[in-house]
């Protein structure tokens, strides 16, 4: 009994400074601000390793991320997903699996921090995690206190085993617990979009999942069945997720992002599909959470995930999610407004064969009510720089329009070949004096 009282007293004293924090009008605590001005970037263990994680693997991943320049590129979070949990002690505090993580989470956090990285951890709003480890239901404040004590920087909070639980209340409760614990921790909500969190979670989390789980597949992944013909859980392909996430652009912005799930780049799709997948996540201002084996990947995969010009589209501080302007058969045209009057322009080919695309700028005018930005190709000339084919010479839009100089110009159609399940991506920059 004495030990329990001392532990509770220590917990109260540790979080007492948070009592003075300003409350919101409804009596709840505000989420931590300043942690998500741009979408988060990092790596997660789930897509490749599921629950087969341990201290040695995580340190090897961290070392490789530093060595390959991934941390310098912005991938600072290293997130442990499901499977790190040990048991709760007699007072209800959760511990790491001591066989998997013999040095403890605090030591792991210190190791990552020494390398300029941040530690992410995983839990669940229900009684159990999705892999049946202990969930946080009924232990929200204890767990938040534990994570803060360990030096955790990021929490992914899942939604398995949550019968008869209200998601708005459950996620707000953990937000409050994280704030009371006194350490700024990024709050990644993983409720799969079931309760339309984009409509209510901007003041609760820093990002929220908008879809079910992603799998390795560019188009729709065929439904899976067991030997008796019963339907099995089947993940979503890249394009079905894009179709679900793109219409939600009005809800994303600095501090609160739509999350179409982690990246499957390097996990079995073609190089072209990986490139398209990565580009679309950047066009949608989505979190860039890698999910491949960093210690064993091809040069093509490394080149894809470290393309600084494409990453800059995702991390643009204007914070506007891109829009799919139009579709023409298998060809899609995407635009994303960027700081300084620039635009990201993406041509996507979802077809099974390469396509020769002639860019008709006059038919691609954008008038975006969300950002208040418009292209005006008829009166503004843009320099277009190819972000994947860096050896290509930049060109200008040169659409016939108004003005003395314009009358001397003729429309200059540009043709490009876009491979199957691939993209062409350009950064459009207004040309002064035109």
Collect all residues with Cβ–Cβ distance below 8 Å to 368 and sequence separation of at least 6: 320, 323, 335, 337, 374
- Catalytic residue at 153? no
Catalytically annotated residue among 63, 97, 110, 213: 213
Which domains, from first to last, does the chain contain?
A: 24-314 (3.20.20.70), 323-430 (2.60.40.1180)
Residue 148 has pLDDT above 50, yes or no: yes
Q: Is 355 helix (H, G, I), strand (E, B) or coil?
A: strand
Q: Is 177 helix (H, G, I), strand (E, B) or coil?
A: helix
| DSSP per-residue string spanning 108-120 | HHHHHHHTT-EEE
- Catalytic residue at 158? yes
Q: What integer best gives the mean pLDDT of the chain? A: 92
pLDDT digits (tens, 9 = 90+) for 214-271: 999 999 999 999 999 999 999 999 999 999 999 999 999 999 999 999 999 999 999 9
Q: Which of 348, 319, 314 is nearest to 243 (CA)?
A: 348
Catalytically annotated residue among 81, 143, 158, 316: 158
Residue 23 has pLDDT above 60, yes or no: no
Lowest mean pLDDT: which of 80-94, 279-293, 320-334, 409-423?
409-423
Q: Report yes or no: 219 and 273 within 8 Å, Cβ to Cβ.
A: no
**Residue 332, strand partner residues:** 327, 348
Collect all residues with Cβ–Cβ distance below 8 Å to 219 and sequence separation of at least 6: 237, 238, 239, 240, 350, 421
Structure tokens, 175: 């937000």
Q: Please give the Cα distance from 360 to 284 (Å, whole number).
A: 23
Q: Please give the Cα distance from 73 to 306 (Å, whole number).
A: 6
Give the mean model confidence (pLDDT) for residues 99-115: 98
What pLDDT is recorded for position 413? 63
Q: Report yes or no: 59 and 205 within 8 Å, Cβ to Cβ.
A: no
What pLDDT is recorded for position 9? 45
Collect all residues with Cβ–Cβ distance below 8 Å to 336 and sequence separation of at least 6: 283, 285, 313, 316, 320, 321, 322, 323, 343, 344, 346
Lowest mean pLDDT: which of 13-22, 58-67, 391-400?
13-22
pLDDT digits (tens, 9 = 90+) for 125-141: 999 999 999 999 999 99
pLDDT digits (tens, 9 = 90+) for 25-63: 345 899 999 999 999 999 999 999 999 999 999 999 999
Q: Which of 269, 170, 293 is nearest to 216 (CA)?
A: 269
Q: Please give the Cα distance from 11 to 113 (Å, whole number).
A: 24
């Amino acid at each position: 009994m004495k030990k329990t009282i001392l532990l509770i007293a220590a917990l109260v004293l540790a979080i007492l400074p948070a009592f003075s924090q300003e409350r919101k009008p409804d009596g709840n605590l505000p989420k931590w601000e300043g942690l998500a001005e741009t979408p988060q970037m990092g790596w997660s263990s789930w897509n490749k390793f599921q629950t087969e994680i341990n201290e040695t693997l995580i340190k090897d991943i961290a070392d490789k991320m530093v060595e390959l320049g991934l941390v310098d590129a912005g991938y600072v979070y290293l997130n442990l997903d499901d499977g790190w949990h040990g048991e709760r002690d007699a007072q209800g505090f959760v511990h790491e699996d001591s066989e998997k993580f013999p040095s403890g989470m605090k030591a792991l956090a210190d190791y990552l921090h020494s390398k300029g990285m941040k530690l992410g951890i995983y839990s669940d709003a229900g009684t159990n995690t999705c892999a049946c480890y202990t969930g946080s239901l009924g232990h929200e404040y204890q767990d938040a206190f534990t994570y803060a004590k360990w030096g955790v920087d990021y929490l992914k909070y899942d939604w398995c085993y949550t019968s008869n639980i209200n998601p708005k209340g459950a996620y707000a409760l953990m937000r409050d617990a994280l704030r009371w614990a006194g350490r700024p921790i990024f709050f990644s909500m993983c409720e799969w979009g079931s309760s339309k969190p984009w409509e209510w979670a901007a003041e609760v989390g820093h990002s929220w999942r908008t879809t079910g789980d992603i799998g390795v597949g560019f188009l729709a992944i065929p439904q899976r069945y067991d030997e008796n013909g019963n339907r099995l859980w089947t993940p979503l392909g890249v394009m079905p997720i894009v179709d679900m996430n793109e219409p939600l652009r009005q809800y994303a912005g600095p501090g609160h992002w739509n999350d179409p799930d982690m990246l499957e780049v390097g996990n079995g799709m073609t190089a072209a599909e990986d490139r398209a997948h990565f580009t679309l996540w950047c066009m949608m201002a989505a979190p860039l959470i890698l999910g491949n084996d960093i210690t064993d990947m091809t040069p093509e995969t490394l080149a894809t995930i470290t393309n600084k010009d494409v990453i800059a589209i995702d991390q643009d501080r204007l914070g506007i999610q891109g829009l799919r302007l139009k579709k023409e058969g298998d060809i899609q045209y995407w635009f994303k407004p960027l700081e300084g009057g620039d635009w990201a322009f993406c041509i996507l080919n979802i077809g099974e064969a390469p396509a020769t695309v002639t860019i008709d700028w006059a038919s691609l005018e954008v008038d975006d009510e969300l950002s208040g930005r418009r292209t005006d190709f008829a009166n503004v000339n843009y320099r277009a720089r190819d972000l994947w084919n860096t050896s290509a010479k930049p060109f200008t839009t040169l659409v016939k329009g108004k003005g003395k100089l314009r009358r001397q110009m003729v429309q200059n159609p540009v043709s490009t070949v876009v491979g199957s399940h691939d993209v062409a991506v350009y950064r459009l920059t207004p040309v002064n004096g035109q």
